[in-house]
Amino acid sequence: MKNRIYLLTGTLCIIMQLAGSCSNFLEVEEKGKTTIPSFLSDPDGLNAGLVGAYNKMYAYYDNEYTKYPDVAGNMLSMKYVSAGADMLDQYNFTSDALQETGAVGYIWRKIYEALANVNNVIQYQPQVVSAYPNAKDMCQRILGEALFLRALCHFDLCRVYAQPYNYTSDASHLGVPVLLKTPGPDDNVSRESVKKVYLQILTDLEQATDCFKGIESSGIYYASLQAVNALYSRVYLYMEDWDNALKYAKLAIGTEQLSQGDTYLNMYQDLSTTGEAIFRLNGIDQSGKLKAFYDASCVPADTLFTLFDEGDIRLSLLKNKDGIAYCSKYYSLKQPDNQVNRDDPFVFRLSEMYMNAAEAAWHLEDYTAASGYIKSILERAVDTNYAVNTLSQYSDIKLIQLIEKERIKELCFEGHNFFDIIRWKQDLKREKNTNSSVEKIAYPSDYFVLPIPQVELNANTNMQPNPTVNN
């Protein structure tokens, strides 16, 4: 079975830097099977395997996966709409299952590559602990990080190839395959319900929490207990489990404060600035794809600018020095290693946790708490007077409108916009002068997910397609 589906062969390219480059992903099956057990047989190998998994996470976050929800959303305008433009089919909702070398195929393939690497680490970790009991703490940390990454992979796949959790009342609609180990050549896996996918995500996060107890964070480029709590909060937000979404947002926030002023801007412009980062991916020795994309292919849409008031610090990240629309969230002026093409995409930062907490508190009818979280965001954006005046314009019932507006402004171009629109069960509405062929799509829509890659469907008769987009 040479042309095995992506998720079956992904495990075999374990770690590019240390085990050699896989020149042809679909042609390394036998070599991978013989080298992986020996490669992951000691603590150093296990840690190296984890590094490989992080690199695979970076490969999909720094490209199509993070581009997709903003290109498919309503706050971005493509500069070029001629045939062959990067992400044009996602902009126009013309994605095709045959597009193996575009977002449809690459997102699926890259996430399952990352997932396969993570599962290898999880599979061999117990054997390493048994053989090297003195390295138990190190191996426990590695397991915690791997479990977090596995949860994140399944969550990300579900956001792209499945309708949101609240699409059906019981989340019984099709999700994605749940992979806890590498399938064999004759294992034709099928898609689980979204509910089952989320249950596995929560199970992995619970186990990761246990692994991280008593272990200090290794820094913002590594999974940590704070990152686990952040993912918990986001997952529960999508599930509309407001109590837990708020609980874990609070745990992720802890005693930390939002970054202010220059520190806030420097999170993007000076990559040595930690700021309010909870978890971001390390782009060292990489040529940042997001940086190149936002530099050449798209700009913030006019509809985004209409949401801002004068003096908002966030506008500095959406215009160039000449005041022209330009997303500079991936255009760092300083890099710790002087690699000018580097970008380090955020996965979680504190501001998102404030937004999660505000949205969850509002749904719990704790309007005072919801207002408090939004007030902190508004104060940082402009000042206290602005925050007080803005909040005074919204009744408790209408406060959710401000919460959604601030979430759009705060998290724009960080991979949230389209996913938020569909989990809010809103129609996609773009500016009247959009150069996309699509100005509006009513919710719900079969077009709100990408098609399952055709090569996957051809190789696995158990793999169910998505309606309409796979036709």
pLDDT of residue 84: 84
Q: Picking from 176-190, 375-389, 438-452, which range would have the lowest pLDDT averaged per residue?
A: 176-190
Task: Give yes or no for residue 13 having a pLDDT over 70.
Answer: no
Q: Is 133 exposed, middle or buried (0-12, 13-18, 19+ CB in 10 A)?
A: exposed
User: pLDDT per residue over 244-266, tens digit each?
Assistant: 999 999 999 999 999 999 999 99
Per the prediction, the chain carries an average pLDDT of 92
Task: Give yes or no for residue 24 having a pLDDT over 60.
Answer: no
CATH architecture entry for 261-414: Alpha Horseshoe (1.25)
Residue ranges of the chain that CATH labels 1.25.40.900: 261-414
pLDDT of residue 10: 37
3-state SS class at 79: coil
Proportion of the chain above pLDDT 90, given as a percent: 86
pLDDT of residue 7: 42
pLDDT of residue 378: 98
pLDDT confidence tier of residue 321, bands split at 50, 70 and 90 = confident
How does 266-305 read in b/e, with b if 16+ C-beta sit within 10 Å?
A: bbbbbbebebbbbbbbbbeebebbbbebbeebbbbbebbe
User: pLDDT per residue over 326-359, tens digit each?
Assistant: 999 999 999 988 899 899 999 999 999 999 999 9
> H or E element: which one contains 75?
none
pLDDT confidence tier of residue 6, bands split at 50, 70 and 90 = very low
Residue ranges of the chain that CATH labels 1.25.40.390: 38-215+448-470
User: pLDDT per residue over 268-302, tens digit each?
Assistant: 999 999 999 999 999 999 889 999 999 999 999 99
**Nearest C-alpha neighbor of 249 from the set 265, 227, 269:** 227
Task: Give yes or no for residue 4 having a pLDDT over 60.
Answer: no
Averaged pLDDT for residues 29-58: 83
pLDDT of residue 182: 80
User: pLDDT per residue over 393-421, tens digit each?
Assistant: 999 999 999 999 999 999 999 999 999 99
pLDDT confidence tier of residue 35, bands split at 50, 70 and 90 = confident
Question: Rounded distance, CA 332 to CA 335, Å?
Answer: 7
CATH architecture entry for 38-215+448-470: Alpha Horseshoe (1.25)
Q: Is 63 exposed, middle or buried (0-12, 13-18, 19+ CB in 10 A)?
A: buried
User: pLDDT per residue over 142-195, tens digit each?
Assistant: 999 999 999 999 999 999 999 999 999 999 999 999 999 987 777 889 999 999
Q: Please report which residue ranges of 287-327 form alpha helices under DSSP H.
A: 289-296, 302-305
CA dihedral angle for residue 194, residue 198, residue 204, residue 209, rounded to 10 degrees: 170
Task: Give yes or no for residue 41 having a pLDDT over 80.
Answer: yes
Proportion of the chain above pLDDT 70, given as a percent: 93
Provide the pairing of β-strand 428-429 with 440-441: antiparallel
pLDDT of residue 8: 36
pLDDT of residue 187: 82
Averaged pLDDT for residues 13-18: 41
3-state SS class at 105: helix
pLDDT of residue 336: 87
User: pLDDT per residue over 453-466, tens digit each?
Assistant: 999 999 999 999 99
pLDDT of residue 330: 95
Model's pTM, two decimal places? Answer: 0.94
pLDDT of residue 387: 98
